[in-house]
Amino acid sequence: MTHDFFATTPKALEGILTNELISLGVTHYKATTAGVAFSGDLALAYRVCLWSRVASRVLLVLSEFEVKTLHDLYAAIQAINWYEHINADDSFAVSFTTKNSTVIVNSHFGALKVKDAIVDQMRAKFGTRPTINTQQPHIRLNVHLQGEKAQLSLDLSGESLHKRGYRDVSIEAPMKENLAAAMLLRCGWDTLSAQGQSLLDPMCGSGTLLLEGAMIASDCAPGLRRAYFGFLGWKKHDVHSWQLLCQEAQQRWEVGLRHLPLIVGFDQNKHTVNTALTHVANAGFQGKIHIERRDITQASPAQRWEKGLIACNPPYGERLGDLAQTAQLYEQFGLTLKNHFIGWQAALIISNPELGFRLGIRSKKPVPLFNGALECRLLRLPIEENAFFTPKAFVDFVDEADVNAAQNLTEEGKAPEPEGLAALPAEPAPMFANRLQKNLKKLAKWAKQQHVFCYRVYDADLPEYAVAIDIYHSEKTWAIVQEYEAPKHVDQDKAALRLAGILAEIPAVVGISPAQVIVKVRKKQRHIEQYEKNSELGFFHEVIEGGCRLRVNFEDYLDTGLFLDHRPIRLLIQKQAQGKRFLNLFAYTGVATVHAAVGGASVTTTVDMSKTYLQWAQANLALNNTSGRHEFIQANCVAWLENEAKRGARQYDLIFLDPPTFSNSKRMEEVFDIQLDYIALITHALTLLTPSGVLYFSTNFRRFKFDVGAFSGVHITDISAKTIPEDFARNQKIHYCWQITKHT
């Protein structure tokens, strides 16, 4: 019997999954975003569950129907005879996704409606009902509602197929197994291993790449050691077909093990090495994969090793304060490859192109991949003598001229004229100069009227001059220039010349010395880049906002410590703070706390995970003459908020909740993703809000979707337009902001 199936996969892996399905015998298929639809018999779907290295789930389509009313959903679910799938005393779970539907906007509500329809049917027939089990149910159902069209599926995988069964569940891997497998397949490891070439991961962590590489090389089915699949508790499960597939897979693996090439892993952390060895044993490769403790500076092949593939997932530099250290690691990695691995191939995943540049190796065309929500690039590097180069200063994280100028300040505090970028032959930029002059004339007048001393004057207004320029009036006027990553179609040398032209124009237009132009090269903000540290110069300047004195830093961070687009919401907090108890979560440098304190807040609580930023926040507050009681707490805001919500001891009249888009800080137990976690965050924050209080929730995630239906008993108002300042009016999506109050 032929069925319709859908195999899901992480974004950007659809092509690899399609090729894999074809190799497994699929003949009718259609690739789409994040998955591939295909058809065949049940045995074929079982084979995909067992053998797919890159799929996340395999769904068996049960029905498709229209949902114009809530009754349509309930009736369509009840139209299925559920006793054909489970017994009345079995368990099930429902996952529900909704997009562009006017009937059901809350996925949790949709799942409850499906659950009710199944339970009601079973109870009416048998006088009893199945239970809900979200961990390992007898069957797991998936409903996807797109507009008015719904698709109901049975999840044959049960849980994500990236879970191979060898990993210690208490260990959080930096990359999922199916992404690791996709990375290796994209680099041709299946062919290289068949030729007897070696695989080395010099930063192997818990061993994910090594094990995926070993399974590919030994013809081991990735699902062979899984104890649970979604079809095992299904009443229509074909036990015989499944047993035959497993027996065949076991035999193929036993043969493949005899031809396993050299697979080696290094890591500098003793605990990580022990974890990797445990995973190797769990996967059945004990004695087949060599792992030892060795630093990247000591990574070199033995003379007897066959040349092959170096594959690794190095640190991304996304964690707070890690960027400078990570950059040094990449430089050392590049030297190690140059000194010891000529003739090999290398592959690594990066999220920051500038870090990849630190390797000093020319790459093939980068391949886009997603590690969870984090957009990355797969670099494929031929390690050849002529592939190496020396990075130029103008593509560094912070322009070397600015760093050198800051480090060589004279006793009078005057810096020498910058070199580096300014020394490049500047491409004339009259159009840019005219636009900057026009913007400055308009915004300088507005800033003077509004008593604004720090503002954005240019933000890629002309696409060919892709920089943002902020003006800071401190002891003198400064222009902070941030160059955005050039589009793929723009030649990098051309972009560098244009940047040099921009730098030549700014001093004359703004009326400042070239030494007062600070240059930072960056991508457009992604995840937590605004928190990344660049250097340790430690020069602070004092500025004024809304009568508040604040410290800013132009050199050490990609941002200065003052998010200019949040100026209106901070001033609103200052205006409303008189006599209030104020909570500032994900506080960064505590600027909102200062506004609340200056506005007369009786109590402020400032929570952030970084000791550095809390000290900065305390220094900001100390500059101002305020009364009241002020508390600074170093904690993971997610965990702190959840714990305080359970305790119920704290109450606040005014709460500012401005989380990062994404965080994988080493102090957090799990990766934080604003789109996935905002409901829990707001729900917990509301338990700390007084009945007459106000919660302001803000995010800079441009694709953020706020599900108003996920909350009850509150009034939610989108105030985004009111909180976009004049100097950011050209970019209405710079942030979103909502005002949330309780119904009284």
pLDDT at residue 46 is higher than 50? yes
Q: According to the model, what pLDDT value does residue 671 have?
A: 65
Residues belonging to the chain:
744
- CA neighbor of 211 nearest in space, from 175, 250, 254: 175
DSSP string, 351-370: S-HHHHHHT-B--S--EEEE
Query: What residue type is assigned to position 386 of the chain?
Result: N
Whose structure tokens read 């680099």? Answer: 187
The strand pairing partners of 742, in sequence order, are 714
Q: According to the model, what pLDDT value does residue 394 have?
A: 31
For 736, counting Cβ atoms within 10 Å of its Cβ (0-12 exposed, 13-18 middle, 19+ buried), the class is buried
DSSP H or E stretch at residue 186: helix 177-186
Query: What residue type is assigned to position 590 of the chain?
Result: G
Q: Are strands 467-473 and 477-483 parallel, antiparallel or unpaired?
A: antiparallel
10 Å Cβ neighbour count for 565?
17
DSSP string, 40-77: E-HHHHHHHHHH-SS-SEEEEEEEEEE-SSHHHHHHHH
Most confident of 7-21, 318-332, 463-477: 7-21
Mean pLDDT of the chain: 88
Percent of the chain with pLDDT over 90: 71
In angstroms, the CA 426 to CA 503 distance is 8
- Supply the Cα-derived Rg of the chain in whole angstroms: 29
User: 315 or 263, which is more confident?
Assistant: 263
User: 429 or 251, which is more confident?
Assistant: 251
User: 368 or 3, which is more confident?
Assistant: 3
Q: According to the model, what pLDDT value does residue 209 have?
A: 97
Q: What are phi and psi of 484, to 5 degrees?
A: -80, 155
Yes or no: say if 479 and 518 are a contact pair by the CB < 8 Å rule: yes
- CA neighbor of 110 nearest in space, from 707, 646, 647, 617: 707
pLDDT at residue 402 is higher than 50? no
Domain 393-524 homologous superfamily, CATH: RNA methyltransferase domain (HRMD) like (3.30.750.80)
Yes or no: say if 101 and 145 are a contact pair by the CB < 8 Å rule: yes
Q: According to the model, what pLDDT value does residue 666 have?
A: 46
The least confident of 169-173, 314-318, 371-375, 390-394 is 390-394
Cα-Cα-Cα-Cα dihedral sign, residues 705, 709, 714, 718: positive
pLDDT at residue 370 is higher than 80? yes
pLDDT at residue 53 is higher than 50? yes
In angstroms, the CA 8 to CA 97 distance is 14
The strand pairing partners of 533, in sequence order, are 557
DSSP state of 557: B
| pLDDT tens per residue across span 559-614 | 899 999 999 999 999 999 999 999 999 999 999 999 999 999 999 999 999 999 99
DSSP state of 414: P
Mean pLDDT over 55-71 rounds to 96
DSSP H or E stretch at residue 333: helix 323-340
10 Å Cβ neighbour count for 247?
10
- DSSP helix/strand/coil, 703: coil
What architecture does CATH give domain 177-227+246-392?
3-Layer(aba) Sandwich (3.40)
The least confident of 183-187, 492-496, 562-566 is 492-496
pTM for the structure as a whole? 0.59
pLDDT at residue 93 is higher than 70? yes
- CA neighbor of 467 nearest in space, from 500, 515, 430: 500
230 contact partners, CB below 8 Å, separation of at least 6: 139, 140, 154, 155, 156, 157, 158, 159
Q: What are phi and psi of 557, to 5 degrees?
A: -135, 160
Q: According to the model, what pLDDT value does residue 319 have?
A: 45
The least confident of 90-104, 410-424, 673-687 is 410-424
Mean pLDDT over 402-411 rounds to 30
Beta strands per DSSP E along 13-68: 28-32, 35-40, 57-66
Q: According to the model, what pLDDT value does residue 504 have?
A: 87
In angstroms, the CA 548 to CA 571 distance is 10
CA 208 to chain centre: 19
| pLDDT tens per residue across span 502-560 | 888 999 999 999 889 988 765 444 333 333 443 344 578 999 999 999 999 987 777 89
- DSSP helix/strand/coil, 600: coil
pLDDT at residue 45 is higher than 50? yes
Region 3-155: CATH code: 3.30.2130.30
Q: According to the model, what pLDDT value does residue 268 have?
A: 92
> CA-CA distances (angstroms) from residue 204 to 173, 213, 238, 280?
11, 12, 39, 12
Token code pair at residue 251:
């035999």
In angstroms, the CA 594 to CA 618 distance is 9
Domains 393-524 and 556-744 share a fold: no
In angstroms, the CA 495 to CA 487 distance is 9
In angstroms, the CA 578 to CA 575 distance is 7
What architecture does CATH give domain 556-744?
3-Layer(aba) Sandwich (3.40)
| pLDDT tens per residue across span 141-154 | 999 999 999 999 99
Q: According to the model, what pLDDT value does residue 327 have?
A: 80
The least confident of 201-210, 418-427, 548-557 is 418-427
487: pLDDT confidence band, cut at 50, 70 and 90?
low
Q: According to the model, what pLDDT value does residue 490 have?
A: 59
Torsion on CA atoms 275, 281, 284, 286, rounded to nearest 10: 110
DSSP state of 231: T
Q: According to the model, what pLDDT value does residue 427 have?
A: 55
Domain ranges of the chain: 3-155, 177-227+246-392, 393-524, 556-744
In angstroms, the CA 353 to CA 366 distance is 10
pLDDT at residue 274 is higher than 50? yes
105: pLDDT confidence band, cut at 50, 70 and 90?
confident
Yes or no: say if 339 and 331 are a contact pair by the CB < 8 Å rule: no
pLDDT at residue 430 is higher than 90? no
